[in-house]
Structure 1
Amino acid sequence: MTTDGPAGAPGTAIPLGTRVVVRYRLPAGYSHRVTDVIGELVSMEPAVAVRTAEKKLVQIAPNTVVALKALSARPIRTAEIRSLEHAAAAGWPGLEQAWIDGWFLRAGGGFTGRANSATPLGPRGTVADPADPEVRARLHGWFADRGLPLLLLLPERLAPIPAGGVPGKQVQVMAADLDNVPLPPGPGPVAISPEPDADWLALYRGGNFPDVAGAVLGAVAAGTLGFGRIGARGTAPIAIGRVAVTDAPDGRRWAGLSAVEVSAEHRRQGVGTLLSGSLLGWGRELGATHAYVQIETGNIASRELYAGLGFVDHHRYGYVTEPVG
């Protein structure tokens, strides 16, 4: 069997969740000797299993595989970006929300950009241009009434950067089909609660956050939250994480990971993978079919962790401060 990695290097291991093409031999009696199947790689043993775009699981005996090659990720449609962003906004909605001119506005006391920004989530053709002085005034006024600056959160392809806007932090959104994520058979050492306790909060950002952070962390719109920890209650946890299970307009139910932190002395030991997998397993028990995580570009360690769980790049978004002039 020939295997080619993402860069085309023979013999390179291909991570589960990668989009692949498998060529394999057919039994005697078929009109042709070999055939191909394209889809996401689910397993390599005891059978090579590929899930097609139609969700059909094709299982292939390893001794019949002629070649297995990684492909570039399936193109993501604009509608899929908008739909995932809806679920993500519901999973981190801040403390106040409003719709203005096709923009979804969130305010959360200034804690985190996601919870204090405007993002273009209205249906196609309904999102007003923020460079329009009247639109900009309405957006600016809503945030100003709450003592906040106007901050735009712009997912790629949903709206252009307005003229004069100042680009800021960039974020990579990674996503996975939970059928392709290797989840732990049970919670194991991970305890999941509906709200964070004092020890959980002590590890989150080293305990360095404003008072409003607890309320922002505990907010969800029409969804369910779980706060995971590894470590007995009453003791300092060695790892923490948050998962929000929310629905998207296209019918998918998403499990969104955030606030995953591992104490310094326990990093690079698989703890983050165990915690994340357990949180996603909990989300799947609530009906989640897909998962996402939002990672600042440049955070290579987190990207590697989630790629190892089967996550792939979905889209990016960036922050833009109020246009000048």
Structure 2
Amino acid sequence: MNDSLLFYNAIDTIASNTWPAETTAYIDNWQLRATRGITKRANSVLAIGEFPHSANWLPLIEQFYADKGLPAIFHISDASPSGLDGLLHAQGYAIDLPCLMMFASAQEAAAAAQQKLMSRDVAALSVEWVTEADEEWLDAFLMLEKYKENSKSDYKGICNRISETKGFVKIKKADRIIAVGTAVVQDEWAGFLNVVVSEEHRGQGVAYFLMHALTAWSIKHGAAQQYLQVVSTNTAAVSLYEKLGYQTKYGYHYRIKYDLRPLASS
């Protein structure tokens, strides 16, 4: 296995720990994740490493998701085995949500964010950290993302299951939360997720303030490197991260199939 593939495998494994599923099963090294349909990350097969030894792996996976009333979704990255993407395409799996894995040095990203903030008026902003996703953080997250209130318990469950060093940040202006984010530190790596800024406060430096807060907290908790996952079509976010020194190292996408009845019953 070459160094690049080892890196992809390691990061995909670390990243999976930042968003733990409610139910997890395994077929050899592949991780089958299910969380009542809340997010693709928590309801997909983390297909890293070689194909499973069982020739019946695809029907087994489809049965796992069919039993839960969920579509079968595969997380396909550069760590996935060669030929998997084409095989799933031939089986009727549609491609969905291409994403980028972006990386930066923590110290360099902190310095870049600080530099950006020098020309922004962020004096009215304050930072508040909590070690668990409390009611205030969850309510703000759902509101900022425009997610349904009935998904709150599922997101709370995911956040509670994160076992690594974690922090949930609230960026406030006049006691109102206008941005949130999550940082998870494992070894030297910090992963950032749930990064969202209120629409009415975008373009005002709040995103740089938020990223600086996430980075500073992560450095304090031992991270030297950081990464995040961003939808490739979100050009505003990609541009923001690039200005902070992030570089894309590799990408991933999903393959999804809703009608599982033919294979699931085989």
Alignment partner of 1:104 is 2:25: no
TM-score under structure 2 length normalisation = 0.80
For residues 68-121 of structure 1, what are the alpha-carbon distances to aligned partners after superposition, in whole Å with 9 as ceiling and x for unaligned?
xxxxxxxx8121111111110011112222221321121112100001100123
Q: Secondary structure at the match of 1:317?
A: strand
Correspondence for 1:149 among 71, 74, 96: 71
Contact preservation (8 Å) 2:132, 2:168: yes
C-alpha displacement at 1:299, in angstroms?
Answer: 0.2
Separation in 1, partners of 2:147, 2:59 = 36
Q: Secondary structure at the match of 1:282?
A: helix
Write out aligned runs for 1:219-230 (5 A).
Answer: 219-220=161-162, 222-230=163-171
For residues 257-299 of structure 1, what are the alpha-carbon distances to aligned partners after superposition, in whole Å with 9 as ceiling and x for unaligned?
1111111221111111111121122112221121111111110
Q: Secondary structure at the match of 1:288?
A: coil
Separation in 1, partners of 2:36, 2:220 = 33
**Residue 128 of structure 1 corresponds to which residue in structure 2?**
52
C-alpha displacement at 1:216, in angstroms?
Answer: 1.8
**Residue 207 of structure 2 corresponds to which residue in structure 1?**
272
Separation in 2, partners of 1:129, 1:259 = 36
Rg larger in 1 or in 2?
A: 1
Alignment partner of 1:240 is 2:168: no
Q: Secondary structure at the match of 1:301?
A: helix
Separation in 2, partners of 1:129, 1:264 = 48
Write out aligned runs for 1:83-232 (5 A).
Answer: 83-122=10-49, 126-128=50-52, 132=55, 134-159=56-81, 160-161=84-85, 162=87, 163-164=90-91, 165-183=93-111, 189-204=126-141, 205-209=145-149, 210-211=151-152, 212-220=154-162, 222-231=163-172
Q: Which amino acid aligns with 1:306?
A: Y
Contact preservation (8 Å) 1:256, 1:292: yes
Return the structure number with greater helix share. Answer: 2
Separation in 2, partners of 1:129, 1:278 = 45
Compared with structure 1, are the counterparts of its residues 232 and 273 closer, same or farther at alpha carbon in structure 2 (3 Å cutoff)?
closer
Compared with structure 1, are the counterparts of its residues 284 and 110 closer, same or farther at alpha carbon in structure 2 (3 Å cutoff)?
same
Query: Which blocks of at least 5 consecutive residues in structure 1 are unaligned?
Result: 1-75, 248-252
C-alpha displacement at 1:217, in angstroms?
Answer: 3.1
Q: Which has the higher contact order (CA 8 A, sep 6+)?
A: 2
Q: Secondary structure at the match of 1:78?
A: helix
C-alpha displacement at 1:157, in angstroms?
Answer: 4.9
Compared with structure 1, are the counterparts of its residues 178 and 106 closer, same or farther at alpha carbon in structure 2 (3 Å cutoff)?
same
Compared with structure 1, are the counterparts of its residues 109 and 246 closer, same or farther at alpha carbon in structure 2 (3 Å cutoff)?
farther
C-alpha displacement at 1:202, in angstroms?
Answer: 3.0
Moved over 4 A (4+): none
Q: Which amino acid aligns with 1:140?
A: E
Query: Which blocks of at least 5 consecutive residues in structure 2 are unaligned?
Result: 115-124
C-alpha displacement at 1:215, in angstroms?
Answer: 1.3
**Residue 119 of structure 2 corresponds to which residue in structure 1?**
none
For residues 162-208 of structure 1, what are the alpha-carbon distances to aligned partners after superposition, in whole Å with 9 as ceiling and x for unaligned?
232321111111111223222578xx822111123333223321353
Q: Secondary structure at the match of 1:196?
A: coil
**Residue 23 of structure 1 corresponds to which residue in structure 2?**
none
TM-score under structure 1 length normalisation = 0.66
Separation in 1, partners of 2:23, 2:215 = 27
**Residue 313 of structure 1 corresponds to which residue in structure 2?**
248
Q: Secondary structure at the match of 1:272?
A: helix
Separation in 1, partners of 2:200, 2:7 = 39
Separation in 1, partners of 2:214, 2:44 = 27
